[in-house]
Structure formats: C-alpha cells, structure tokens
C-alpha cells in the first residue's frame, strides 16, 4: 500500500474528528463570547479589560495552551473524584476543546464589541425614540447592524481554530495533525503535506461558507444564508458519520511520538483485533503525559522503557542492575499506581550518546570518558525531552560534560543535524534503525550513569485484571529482540514503509522463528554495544 492511498484511508476518521473538534470549539467560543461581549459593550472599561485578557491568551503558543490543559484537567479530575466520585478525562477531546475555545474567543469578542460600538448613536437614539426597550434595540437594531462585523470575527476564529486544531494530536485528540506529527516523525513528507493541505482546505471551505453567510446578512439575502447554513450542516453531518459506534469499552492504546512507538502500538492493535477486542490508538503523546494518562485511565496500554520510569517517575539516580530495576519498578508501579507491568518485550531502547563514526574515530572517542576532554569544543543535539530529563543531569555530573552548545530537535531532524555536521553528538535511541543507516557510533557508558531501558508493556489500573486483554497481549512478552526492533524501525525510517507494515513484519516473525536470536544474546549484545561492563 503506498502512502497516498494510506493517507486517504485515514482521512474519514482524521477529518471527522478534526471538524467535530473545530466546530465544537468555535460554537462554544461563540456561546461564551457573544453574551459576554454584549454585556460588556456598554462599558468601555469592562470591554477593555476583556479584550486585554483575551489578547494575552492569544499570545500563548497554541501547543503550550493545549498542553497546559492536561495538568489542569488532571488536577480537576482529582478534585471531582474525591468530591463526587467521578473523574473528568484529561486527555483527548476535552483539553483540546477547551484550549481551542479560548483561541476562538478573542476574534469573536473583539469584533462583537467593535461592531456594537460602531453602530451610529443617532440610530440607537431612534430605536429608543420609537419605543424599543433595551433588549429590543439590541436584538432588532444593534446586533443586526453589527452582524457583518461579528461574522467577520467568527470567520477569523474559524480559520484560527481549524489551523490550531492540528496541534491537538499530542494531547491525544485525533485530528488532521496526526498526519503532520506522524509524518514528521517517520519522515513521511506525503503525510505532512497531506495533513497540511487537508487542514488548509477545511479552513478555506469553512471560511467561504461563512463569507457567504456574512454577505447574506449584509445584503439580506435569504438565499445566501440558506446556502451557507446548508453547507455548514452538511460538513457537520459528514464529520459525525465516522464517529458513530465507538463504544466506551474500547481499549485505548497509547503511543509516544516516535517510530518505534507507532510500530509497537500498531502491533498491540493487531493483537487486540485478532482477539476481537475493539481498540483505538492515541499517538504522539509526550512521555510524562502518557504515563499520567495511563494512571488516570485515559490510556489503557502502552509500551514504556524501564529507565524512563526509573528516572522520571521514581526519581531514582542509582543503577542497581537490569533485573533489580525491573523488579523494583514492577513493584513500585503496582503499589503506587496500581499499574500492571505485563512484562518485558525483549529489547532495550536506551538513551545513549552517539557520534558519527568518522568523527568519533578522528577524535579518538570511544566512551563518555573520552568525550569529556573534547566536550568543550563540541555541539550536542537532543530530542525535546532529553535536556530536561534527570538522565541528562546524571550524565553531565558523572562525566563532567560541558558542551559548547546544546540544541533541541524533533528526533528526525536531530539525526539529520548529526549527519550534516550541525551538531557533533546527539542523544540517540539504541534501538533506532538510523544508527546503522547513518553509520553512527554509540558511546560507551563505563560508569553506568544511564539506567537500563527495557521495553515494558504497561496496563492501566482499571484494565489490570482484564483476562482477555492479558491473554491477547501476553504473547508479546519476550517476543521482540533488539535486531528485530532495529530492523522494524529501519523499515519505517529508511525504507519508508508504514508503521503498520513494520508491525505485520514483527508479528509474522514472532516466536523467534525468523529472528533466531535468544533473549540472552541480545541483552549481552547491547551491553557490549552501549555500556560494556
């Protein structure tokens, strides 16, 4: 299946969710903004304050605004759970809706206030003189006269919201942004382009429909108004169609924002489908968000890495050895969060510093100790998370690493930057196919500063005793070794295959027949590769 066909296949679900989210946000934004604007329009001071507040919200970057709603809703959920015995979902539709609603508010507020203020005072006096009450004047005179201006505001809000809705993917809301985020990650530019063009098209169509309504209002053309409302209604109906029949019992599979996670979530989805369990996937979640989502039950199953939880959630900086980490982690997850660790998949995806082989050889760098002497002249690149993770602090402290410059990249571009010489060292992932592809050298960690990163299959508290789910997922435990995972990753990164295709390839080889390598061998292999005890 080529990527264009695949993109088209995904369109109904992505587009439907995108439109539903955007329209809801625009509608909610209007429902809040219009009365507030009308109420404050008479007072210069109130409307000034309101506009200032809305402008401040507008300056918050869209992605940050969306991300901020996650912890806010999580805190709210904790309160409602304690007080009323039910929580609110902190991931997915709700945070996306609230953030986009805030975005939609400013243009509607501003244009309503300005539109009402621009109504000729003589006309307002005339409305009083003919015997209109204040609400009648507003309804029959001021609002109709301000309507073209208000519609203009709604149009701006619509275009903004439809554009910004692509950013809702990382908080777990499916949208046209899924094409963009996934495409960016897997270097699938067809996907990125497809998502961008689709979002732009939706914005354009909605804008034209609203423009039609606007001129309809200005010219009192019932025909134009009818055409515009029919168009909008059709768009809404089309968006609702693919959403029909998604039940509450659906298992939610989580995925972080890189290839391996897409492949593994696709693999899990296949396993569940084979067992007749309905499931949906939320991709592109940040590693802290995804863990919280699992604890809160917004995500039911995903693959994490032992070291990530060890350092980020358990706040441990020691390194007692691979099996000890796994044992303590499993116990901590169960006791602290009632999260179940179904087991290790069989490979590690460790954070490791990597250099181009030629550059490392030229400088004579083999281990992180060697790196220390050269660090001051070298530039380091990391993924968005890396420099804020505790592992980085431990690495810096243990080896006294001080680089000339540090930069954050989206992972795909991080590897590119290393290849092109923009940076000298990167925070690589040991199971990444690009390590082979780009001829990279993983630097050894002789002091054991970095914890092990076994891929572990985690299940949310409310699904932890689901026998069917367990039965469906159990065959994955111990079934994927490092070469297999690297090969699957490379299929996506290098061969431009889809994560689903890589997942199928993994599924077919499961049971060790194709890989022909035992778990023990792999573990030793990686130890040599990265840490060399």
Partner 1 sequence: MIHFEQVTKAYGGNPAVLRCLNFQVRPGEFVSLIGRSGCGKSTTLSLINRLIEPTSGTIRVDGQDIATTNPVALRRRIGFVFQGIGLFPHLTIAENIGITPRLLGWPAVEIKTRVRELLDLVRLPPTCESRLPRELSGGEQQRIGLARALAARPRIMLMDEPFGALDPLVRDELAADYSVIHRQLRLTTVLVTHDMTEALLLSNKIIVQHAGGIVQIGTPQKLLSAPADEVVAALIESPRRRIGQLTRLLEQGSML
- The residue count for binding partner 1 (CB under 8 A) is 17
196 binds partner 1 (CB under 8 A): no
> Residue 57 or residue 130: which is nearer to partner 1 going by CB?
130
Task: Quote the least distance from Cβ 151 to partner 1, whole Å.
Answer: 14
CA distance 376 to 395: 15
CA distance 116 to 468: 60
The pattern of x and - marking residues 176 through 195 that bind partner 1 according to CB under 8 A reads --------------------
227 binds partner 1 (CB under 8 A): no
129 binds partner 1 (CB under 8 A): yes
Span from 131-139, 159-167, 173-181, 513-521 in contact with partner 1 (CB under 8 A): 131-139
123 binds partner 1 (CB under 8 A): yes
117 binds partner 1 (CB under 8 A): no
Evaluate whether 300 touches 443 at the Cβ level (below 8 Å).
Answer: no
Taking CB under 8 A as the criterion, the residue among 130, 234, 238, 404 binding partner 1 is: 130
Task: Quote the least distance from Cβ 148 to partner 1, whole Å.
Answer: 10
> Residue 134 or residue 528: which is nearer to partner 1 going by CB?
134
244 binds partner 1 (CB under 8 A): no
> Residue 125 or residue 230: which is nearer to partner 1 going by CB?
125
Taking CB under 8 A as the criterion, the residue among 220, 222, 315, 467 binding partner 1 is: 220
225 binds partner 1 (CB under 8 A): no
128 binds partner 1 (CB under 8 A): yes
Kind of pairing, strands 440-442 and 351-356? antiparallel
List residues bridging with 123 in a β-sheet.
none
338 binds partner 1 (CB under 8 A): no
238 binds partner 1 (CB under 8 A): no
Span from 136-144, 235-243, 439-447, 523-531 in contact with partner 1 (CB under 8 A): 136-144
Distance of CA 162 to CAs 19, 100, 189, 348, Å? Answer: 8, 9, 21, 39
Taking CB under 8 A as the criterion, the residue among 11, 68, 145, 314 binding partner 1 is: 145
139 binds partner 1 (CB under 8 A): no
327 binds partner 1 (CB under 8 A): no
In angstroms, what is the C-alpha Rg of the chain? 27
127 binds partner 1 (CB under 8 A): yes
Taking CB under 8 A as the criterion, the residue among 49, 57, 126, 204 binding partner 1 is: 126
Taking CB under 8 A as the criterion, the residue among 13, 28, 32, 132 binding partner 1 is: 132
DSSP classification of residue 386 = G
> Residue 8 or residue 223: which is nearer to partner 1 going by CB?
223
Kind of pairing, strands 379-383 and 405-409? parallel
CA distance 520 to 93: 43
CA distance 486 to 430: 8
CA distance 27 to 21: 10
For tokens 């009308």, name the residue: 38
HEC assignment per residue over 128-194: HHCCCCHHHHHHHHHHHHHHHHHHHHHHHHHHHHHHHHHHHHHHCCCCCHHHHHHHHHCCCHHHHHH
Taking CB under 8 A as the criterion, the residue among 74, 91, 116, 141 binding partner 1 is: 141
> Residue 128 or residue 357: which is nearer to partner 1 going by CB?
128
46 binds partner 1 (CB under 8 A): no
CA distance 229 to 156: 18
Kind of pairing, strands 425-429 and 351-356? antiparallel
For tokens 């100790």, name the residue: 369
CA distance 75 to 68: 11
Give me the count of residues in the chain: 533
Distance of CA 165 to CAs 7, 198, 292, 421, 516, Å? Answer: 18, 12, 22, 35, 45
Q: Which spans of this chain sit near partner 1 (rule: CB under 8 A)?
A: 122-123, 125-133, 136, 140-141, 144-145, 220
């Amino acid at each position: 299946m080529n990527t264009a066909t695949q993109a088209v296949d995904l369109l109904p679900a992505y587009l439907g969710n995108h439109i539903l989210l955007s329209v809801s946000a625009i509608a909610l934004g209007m429902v809040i903004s219009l009365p507030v604007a009308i109420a404050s329009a008479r007072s210069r001071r109130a409307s000034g304050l309101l506009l200032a507040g809305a402008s401040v919200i507008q300056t918050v970057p869209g992605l940050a605004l969306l991300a901020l709603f996650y912890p806010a809703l999580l805190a709210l959920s904790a309160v409602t759970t304690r007080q009323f015995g039910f929580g609110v979902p902190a991931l997915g539709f709700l945070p996306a809706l609230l953030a986009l609603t805030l975005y939609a508010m400013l243009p509607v507020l501003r244009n309503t206030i300005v539109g009402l203020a621009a109504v000729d005072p003589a006309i307002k006096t005339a409305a009083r003189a003919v015997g209109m009450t204040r609400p009648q004047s507003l309804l029959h005179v001021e609002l109709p006269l301000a309507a073209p201006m208000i519609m203009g505001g709604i149009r701006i809000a619509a275009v903004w919201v439809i554009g910004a809705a692509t950013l809702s993917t990382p908080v777990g809301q499916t949208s046209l942004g899924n094409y963009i985020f996934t495409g960016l990650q897997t270097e699938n530019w067809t996907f990125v382009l497809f998502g961008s063009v689709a979002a732009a098209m939706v914005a354009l169509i909605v804008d034209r429909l609203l423009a039609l309504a606007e001129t309809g209002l200005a010219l009192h053309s019932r025909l134009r108004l009818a055409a515009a409302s029919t168009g909008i209604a059709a768009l809404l109906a089309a968006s609702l169609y693919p959403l029909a029949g998604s039940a509450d019992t659906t298992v939610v599979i989580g995925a972080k924002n890189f290839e391996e996670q897409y492949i593994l979530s696709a693999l899990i989805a296949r396993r569940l489908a084979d067992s007749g369990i309905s499931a949906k996937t939320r991709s592109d979640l940040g590693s802290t968000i995804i863990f919280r989502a699992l604890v809160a039950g917004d995500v039911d199953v995903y693959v994490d890495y032992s070291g990530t939880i060890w350092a980020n959630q358990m706040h441990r900086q020691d390194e007692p050895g691979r099996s000890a980490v796994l044992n303590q982690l499993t116990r901590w997850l169960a006791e602290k969060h009632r999260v179940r660790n179904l087991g290790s998949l069989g490979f590690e995806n460790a954070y490791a510093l990597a250099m181009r082989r030629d550059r490392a050889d030229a400088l004579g760098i083999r281990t992180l100790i060697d790196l220390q002497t050269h660090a001051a002249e070298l530039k380091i690149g990391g993924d968005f998370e890396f420099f804020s993770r505790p592992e980085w602090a431990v690495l810096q402290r243990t080896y006294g690493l001080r680089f000339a410059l540090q930069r954050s990249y989206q992972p795909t571009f991080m590897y590119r930057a290393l290849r092109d010489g923009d940076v000298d060292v990167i925070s690589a992932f040991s199971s990444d196919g690009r390590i082979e592809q780009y001829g990279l050298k993983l630097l050894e960690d002789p002091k054991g500063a970095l914890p092990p990163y076994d891929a572990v299959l985690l299940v949310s508290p409310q699904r932890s005793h689901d026998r069917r789910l367990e039965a469906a997922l159990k065959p994955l435990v111990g079934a994927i070794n490092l070469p297999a995972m690297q090969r699957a990753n490379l299929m996506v990164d290098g061969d431009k295959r889809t994560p689903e295709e890589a997942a199928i390839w993994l599924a077919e080889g499961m049971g060790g027949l194709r890989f022909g390598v035992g778990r023990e061998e792999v573990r030793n292999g990686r130890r040599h590769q990265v840490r060399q005890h």
